[in-house]
Structure 1
């Protein structure tokens, strides 16, 4: 049996390897003995129940002498209390007065149970005080990607829902530092961030997991090749929750619905808001590098929010192209020069041109969209009468206007007959 746990929040360690029986420590009894010896009141508080009906998770936390300890979770109330007791045990052992229950006594309290010859690996998850579970509840996944996961969660004190993005700590500098310095009504609002030693998915594992061990497999190899990485930190970013969907979804709904006169008016307003956000980003000497309808969201007020700054980078304002990471961005929205390493903020203007094109013209299918967006000359023929978009899609960066100049041009365009764009289906 391989039993893994930690008294610290920053590491995992092998505490024992013992094939043949499973030892489970009764943390409830340990805590009870400690409280009785110290004459301290204790209460197990039911925090709530979460998850679907077929996979409920009971949540308990222990209060000792008016001091609250981390939440414990399990599939039944008894195990949830056991988890809560273990959480308190880990914290209490750090205190200088922890002398009531020795390791020998803890061992005596532990129970043993026989395991068949086809033995099992049993390991427990790290139980640590984590801010995510402490400050938030009603947690549910919103999405997952190569960067990590995004969750919807309710801030317990403020009673407000937030989007919580969880990523590996190696990605900390770029997105957090960018978001922390941006404050604009058309950019996803940043609230806070923090580091934890464990990710949310790992923390929600139940106390014991049993994995059948194939004979001959190296125990340590199996441990270190699992999802849990030793000394790995996770970054949590608390952001504004945008439940109005993405611009991609809005465009898709408009493309499959009967033509509406209101589409042009709405598209113009969205274009104005997106442009305002991009102008602000550029004023902060930043390049987004991944502008696309999927990264443009709608806030609770119905207005546009630019999000996902994971690829954002510093811009050089002296007019010279800077050598950057090659091929950074989404292929179908990348400017021609972006496949190389020398480019500037004008790559964002090119992506905006493609986004504006999709806003104002109906494209029947995703296949058509990809085909058209890959061929700027095809778009140029279609928007020949709309100078603003044509200049944005110039293959030469120096020929594209600045975002600040585009705001004036957009106002002029909306006030002329050229603004009456054709809402018919685009044929490729």
Structure 2
């Protein structure tokens, strides 16, 4: 079986895209000693091809792999994307060349598009106006093809017979990402790699040329509400929150490429000039808390119940998370989308809370804000009851989500019977604390500051106990 953890990757994808994921057992065949099992992944009610294995775990991995491949429309070898054919690289280079030409020579580049009816189809046309000069029109089956050919015609007129090296800039700004990048991003950054994609936009790893330092750059469609994330991040300065550095707006043409993994068909038609918001942030590791939990859960779950090393690490993560949330709440803000997929790690292993796309303020006596705080926003599996029921909610929805995350962190609980075993082993401070965080009545949930103090005291007590046990063994 493939060594990749497709269950973890599908879980993370589903959380990022806010999809409802579940697995269903299809059945088993064969005698007991050579029995094979079948499971299928169901995403937002849609069943994907079954996975078959010698045991349920293997069948689940294969089911997750099949679903992920369908969702991402990727080849069967997983997340490694095939390099585009040479002629596609050449087209992308001409478009990139034109962008860089306009930037270098400080001239405005404008695309003029047209549609010509054919015998059975519509042919897309495009010509570029560079500064005050118009260039010949080019045609193609799609807008993208027409643009690329039009850019080639511009290059031919300006540069004469000189050809463009298709390998030039291959490691820079001319990678086939599914959209055309303009101006500051490609001018100030190189070594650009895509890290993530979704309905929100794209996130790239990029090295700032002058600073010689890597950052994460998030690119989203500009709307008034998208500035909310920037305003919030700029005001939050905490070691357990992804650090914001800068942002800027640019005009551009975004070609939302469904072949690179988007599951929304509507995005493929977003091909008109518009504004995009670029957010420069601290670069975190690709591995999220969701992946960390799923990797731990691959272990035998009986062993996991007694895994004290896991509990020690988890308590450290939990303390860092609650510290970040305490800071968020101190600014009268509600994150609203806390989940393992939005908890990241810095290069040195520090926990970082990210994705503030759904953040909102908590303002009393404000009708507009109260309306916002009744919205069904977040990830359903981590929503508090009042959030799901669209009742007026406050910062305590974050406490409920954290309670669920803490439970996942500390224990691998696949069945109800195992929850009773947790009660037996850990019916103590931790279980009581998480229980209080998951109260259906938000007023009974503790504040982040209280949880932080209790966790610090508990970790200190455990450290003292560990020291006494070690000392007793040396006597």
Normalising by structure 2, report the TM-score: 0.56
Counterparts of 1:184-199 in structure 2, within 5 Å, are: 184-198=238-252
Using the TM superposition, give the Cα deviation of residue 274 of structure 1 relative to its aligned residue in structure 2, in angstroms: 0.3
Higher relative contact order (CA 8 A, sep 6+): 1
Q: Which has the larger radius of gyration?
A: 1
The question of 1:138 aligning with 2:205 is answered no
The question of 1:160 aligning with 2:203 is answered no
CA distance in 2, matches of 1:153, 1:56: 24
2:449 is aligned to 404
Distance 1:196 1:335, change over 3 A: same
Using the TM superposition, give the Cα deviation of residue 180 of structure 1 relative to its aligned residue in structure 2, in angstroms: 0.8
Find the partner of 2:295 among 246, 250, 253: 253
Counterparts of 1:195-344 in structure 2, within 5 Å, are: 195-198=249-252, 226-230=269-273, 232-243=274-285, 245-257=287-299, 259=303, 260-316=307-363, 322-323=370-371, 324-339=373-388, 340-344=390-394
Using the TM superposition, give the Cα deviation of residue 79 of structure 1 relative to its aligned residue in structure 2, in angstroms: 8.2
2:409 is aligned to 359
Using the TM superposition, give the Cα deviation of residue 245 of structure 1 relative to its aligned residue in structure 2, in angstroms: 1.2
| Contact 1:55–1:75 (8 Å) recurs in 2 | no
Distance 1:306 1:85, change over 3 A: closer
Mean Cα displacement is larger for which, 263-272 or 77-86? Answer: 77-86
Distance 1:201 1:243, change over 3 A: farther
| Contact 1:349–1:402 (8 Å) recurs in 2 | yes
Counterparts of 1:166-185 in structure 2, within 5 Å, are: 166-170=219-223, 171-185=225-239
2:107 is aligned to 91
- SS of the residue 2:377 aligns to: coil
CA distance in 2, matches of 1:379, 1:343: 30
Using the TM superposition, give the Cα deviation of residue 174 of structure 1 relative to its aligned residue in structure 2, in angstroms: 1.4
2:69 is aligned to none
CA distance in 2, matches of 1:119, 1:328: 39
Using the TM superposition, give the Cα deviation of residue 413 of structure 1 relative to its aligned residue in structure 2, in angstroms: 3.1
1:215 is aligned to none
Using the TM superposition, give the Cα deviation of residue 81 of structure 1 relative to its aligned residue in structure 2, in angstroms: 5.7
Using the TM superposition, give the Cα deviation of residue 130 of structure 1 relative to its aligned residue in structure 2, in angstroms: 1.2
1:67 is aligned to none
Aligned pair count reads 312
| Contact 2:335–2:356 (8 Å) recurs in 1 | yes
**Higher-helix-fraction structure:** 2
Mean Cα displacement is larger for which, 392-401 or 381-390? Answer: 381-390
Distance 1:196 1:92, change over 3 A: closer
CA distance in 2, matches of 1:195, 1:181: 19
Distance 1:146 1:83, change over 3 A: closer
CA distance in 2, matches of 1:405, 1:353: 14
CA distance in 2, matches of 1:273, 1:120: 49
CA distance in 2, matches of 1:79, 1:349: 48
Displaced runs of 4 or more, over 2 A: 51-58, 73-90, 118-129, 199-203, 257-261, 320-323, 376-386, 411-417
Normalising by structure 1, report the TM-score: 0.62
Unaligned runs of 5+ in 2: 1-80, 111-130, 152-179, 258-267, 466-475
Query: Per-residue CA shift, 1:361-408, capped at 9, x if unaligned?
Result: 1135xxx6xx99xxx999989965321111111100110110001111
**Over aligned residue pairs, what C-alpha RMSD do you find?**
4.2
Unaligned runs of 5+ in 1: 1-50, 59-72, 95-100, 204-224, 421-428
1:123 is aligned to 146
Distance 1:161 1:87, change over 3 A: closer
